[in-house]
Structure 1
């Protein structure tokens, strides 16, 4: 049980709001074990069944009529006017996952409902995965492993095929000084590398304070031997890494994408990787998954993973525990630590 849990949660300054959980069964099983159940029931009034998977049934409408708190995760439908009309007392949505972009509609803001998410907690495993990918990209390990397994290159040909195999004194480029991008920059300080960051919306002094150097996108692409993408998926960022941008990258450089597939022009990346000039480590693609005919599946200089960089397994407990901390803050009249506003959501992932 968290140290934040009061000995008498229903005492002075606290109340036990009515709550219901809305998420996929798998998310519920992974994120709410016995300890989380106990704490949930300590902090809130929760009827059986504790969690719902749909909000368009008579049972859901009856539960929504009473709830003050929605605890959501993967699988919760968008909270539109039709759903919210059945929840006249709803005051706060606590999302036990990362982005709330597909969940929160303008109607949520219009009704003055507070929203909290767990983007900070979900950023931790993504940053860890990205750091590992950067290190492995420097050594060309994923590509050499594939080539060795398939016999596509002789042992002595690896350097010629994939380029230098080192992380020492290399330059790493970070596109997007987001929650994840910041954590990656922080972790890169353990390596002997130079870090360039492109993010036109961030004060350059913030980037310098983190131990990196702010740079224009072209400079990042030209100088970095590894480029990692961490920008949000917005209409303005779609295909921000296209044919012209990829053409600026150095021979044998590696593009890493653990953000959103739409940030990269897939066709342009296929062309560069098929030529052998660039390498790629992709946890996300556009579309996702790739069509069966994509050349990226079979290229030895491409590593594909099925969107696993974010919280998996018991890593998701970071998020449910944060939600329970937020529930306690709400119940005791404290500000939410991970609150999201309509303005922030416009530029968030």
Structure 2
């Protein structure tokens, strides 16, 4: 029997981010080849992005595997029915990312309300001071109607921050009950109404078949003139071509962290628009967030070993609602 049946299949760079104190008691592998060789005797597998699908062939190499602890959020890209069929439990650390992503979504919201993308682009372009000072009307967040699509972990983190600053928040989410809405201090509404009535729309919905291009040309047309769209979730949610066409008119603004093509091509039309704020898919990348991800994984391993309930367990049924 292997003395340390915890196998960490995480790249060295990510290990330093997630576990800055090190992992001296665990076995460490850096790539797929190392994973395959180290699976025999593994009881607990720690995974991250790039994890290969845990097929029957891989699982046959780890007959003692009982827990998979993922340092990220969604596990849909590598978890299979075979895993659950064998009674292997799964947990994840997505909750750790919610504060950072929520903060970036809030920063994006404030930037759009105050027209910062337009000012920034004009200043960097060397535009005449008087011309650079011209922008649509600006707004404060207190009392402002903000729409949130999806009461996910990140959605709820954003809601708490926005409400603390005085925003009036509406939420469109088919799974949100009236009781949940009351507890969050938000108004529950349908997507079309939210789009029509919100000054800024913030996307936090999961990646599901029914959310593919949830925001398309029809939906964008419902947004009021000078409204803003914030997307720190997934590009899956937005028809990027329709969004680009709407943004090119200058009628609405946007702040975006996720794209259909990543890396975003240097000549992509989004890069040249004055009314768009762009970041390179880095909303979750804070030191505190990375450490929380590692801490959640280690805490879940400790709970499993001591026979206590897992706090972030993912069941087979959960996959239907996971991005």
- TM-score with structure 1 length normalisation? 0.87
**Matching of residue 136 in structure 1 with residue 122 in structure 2:** no
- Residues 9-28 of structure 1: pairs in structure 2 closer than 5 A: 18-28=5-15
**Matching of residue 106 in structure 1 with residue 81 in structure 2:** yes
Which of 217, 235, 240 is the aligned partner of 1:243? 217
Measured after TM superposition, the shift of residue 165 of structure 1 is: 3.7
- The answer to whether the 8 A contact 2:246-2:252 is kept is yes
**Matching of residue 37 in structure 1 with residue 60 in structure 2:** no
Moved over 2 A (4+): 59-63, 151-159, 161-169, 287-294, 311-315
- The answer to whether the 8 A contact 2:122-2:132 is kept is no
**Pair 133,210 (structure 1): closer, same or farther in 2 beyond 3 Å:** same
**Pair 100,153 (structure 1): closer, same or farther in 2 beyond 3 Å:** farther
- Residues 208-247 of structure 1: pairs in structure 2 closer than 5 A: 208-247=182-221
**Matching of residue 54 in structure 1 with residue 31 in structure 2:** yes
**Matching of residue 147 in structure 1 with residue 115 in structure 2:** no
Distance (Å, rounded) in 2 between the aligned partners of 1:52 and 1:313 = 23
**1:13 matched residue in structure 2:** none
- Residues 184-333 of structure 1: pairs in structure 2 closer than 5 A: 184-333=158-307
Distance (Å, rounded) in 1 between the aligned partners of 2:37 and 2:259 = 40
- The answer to whether the 8 A contact 1:94-1:327 is kept is yes
Which of 73, 86, 90 is the aligned partner of 2:61? 86
Distance (Å, rounded) in 2 between the aligned partners of 1:115 and 1:69 = 10
Measured after TM superposition, the shift of residue 168 of structure 1 is: 3.5
**2:92 matched residue in structure 1:** 117
Distance (Å, rounded) in 2 between the aligned partners of 1:66 and 1:253 = 56
Aligned length: 321
- The answer to whether the 8 A contact 2:9-2:35 is kept is no
Distance (Å, rounded) in 2 between the aligned partners of 1:92 and 1:17 = 14
Distance (Å, rounded) in 2 between the aligned partners of 1:113 and 1:216 = 38
CA deviation vs aligned residue, 1:69-99 (integer Å, no higher than 9, x gap): 0011223222122211111110000111222
Which of 41, 44, 47 is the aligned partner of 1:72? 47
Distance (Å, rounded) in 2 between the aligned partners of 1:124 and 1:68 = 31
- The answer to whether the 8 A contact 1:221-1:248 is kept is yes
- The answer to whether the 8 A contact 2:148-2:155 is kept is yes
Measured after TM superposition, the shift of residue 233 of structure 1 is: 1.0
- TM-score with structure 2 length normalisation? 0.93
**Pair 92,153 (structure 1): closer, same or farther in 2 beyond 3 Å:** farther
Distance (Å, rounded) in 2 between the aligned partners of 1:285 and 1:227 = 17
Measured after TM superposition, the shift of residue 311 of structure 1 is: 3.3
Tell me, what secondary structure is at the counterpart of 1:346? helix
**1:11 matched residue in structure 2:** none
Which of 300, 305, 316 is the aligned partner of 1:342? 316
